[in-house]
Amino acid sequence: MLLAVDVGNSETLVALFEGETLKHHWRLTSSPRQTGDELTVLFHYVLSSVGASERAVTGVAVSSVVPGLTPEYRTLARRLFDRDALVIDHRTVPDLPILYHDPASVGGDRLVNAVAVMAAYGAPAIVVDLGTATTLDVVTAAREYAGGVIAPGIATSANALFTHGARLARVEIRRPAHVVGRTTEESMQAGIFYGAVGGVDALVRAVVREMNLDPGLPVVATGGLASAIAEASETITAVDEALTVNGIRLVWERAGRP
C-alpha cells in the first residue's frame, strides 16, 4: 500500500492507496514545529484507527510546501515503515516539461495537480486549488506545465478581515442565502464567499484569454472549499477532492517504485 502525503501550510492531506484504489484519507492540521517523533506517533494512531497495518505500507510519497517539515516526514518514513520517502519536486516528474523560469521553485503540490488533471481530464486544463493560497495551474495541449496564478486563500483573506476589523467577529465561510446581507454576519459571509467566487472566475477567464484557450476546457477545483465555491462558479467544471493525492500516486508509479 502507498501512503501519499500532501503537506500544506494549514492542513496535511493523507491518503492510503491499494493500487489505484483510495482506501482511506484524512485531513490533519499542519504544524511547522512537528518533529519526526511526533509524526511517527500520530501516523501510528491514524493507521490503527482504520485497522491498517504499518507493515502493509510499502511506499511513502510526500509533496510538501513546508520545507521545515520535509525532513521530518523522511524521518517518519524510516522509523515507522522502514522506507525512504519519495519527496516530490521538479526532478521527480521528468516527463512533465515545466515552463517556469526556475522549475525548482514550483511547489510539488502544483506539479502533482498538473499530472493528475491530465490523467483524469486531459489537456489543456486548469486546476483551481483552494487552500491557504488559491492557486491556478495551467497545462497546455502539449502537456506542459505552463505556470499559473497564486492569490491569497479564502480563509487567509477572511482571517485578515477578522483580525483588522475591530467590530467584525469571525463567521463561518459558507454560501449565504442572499448576496445582500441584512446583518453584519450575513454581509461578511456574502462578501467573503461571492468575492472568492468572482475572483476565481475572473482569474480563469483572464488565463483563458491570455493563453487563447478553449473556454470549454476542463477547470477542476480541489481543496477544502472546492465543492462550495464550484456550486456558485461559472467557470469551474468539476470538483476532485482527491486530485492532489492521486497525482502523488501517479508520480510514485511513474518513478517505478514498488
Any idea which residues carry the catalytic annotation? 109
Residue in this structure with the C-alpha cell 486563500, named with its chain if needed: 153
244: Cβ contacts below 8 Å, ≥ 6 apart: 6, 13, 63, 109, 112, 113, 116, 129, 222
Instruction: Tell me phi and psi for residue 82, to 5 degrees.
Output: 55, 45
Contact 125, 118 (CB under 8 A): yes
> What's the rounded Cα separation, in Å, for the pair 108 and 239?
20
Instruction: Give the helix ranges, DSSP H, for the chain.
Output: 36-48, 70-81, 108-121, 154-164, 184-211, 226-232, 243-254
Smallest CA-to-CA distance from 229 within 187, 200, 191 is with: 200
Q: Tell me the angle at which helices 108-121 and 243-254 cross, rounded to the nearest 10 degrees.
A: 90
What is the distance between the alpha carbons of residues 151 and 224, in angstroms, rounded to a whole number? Answer: 16
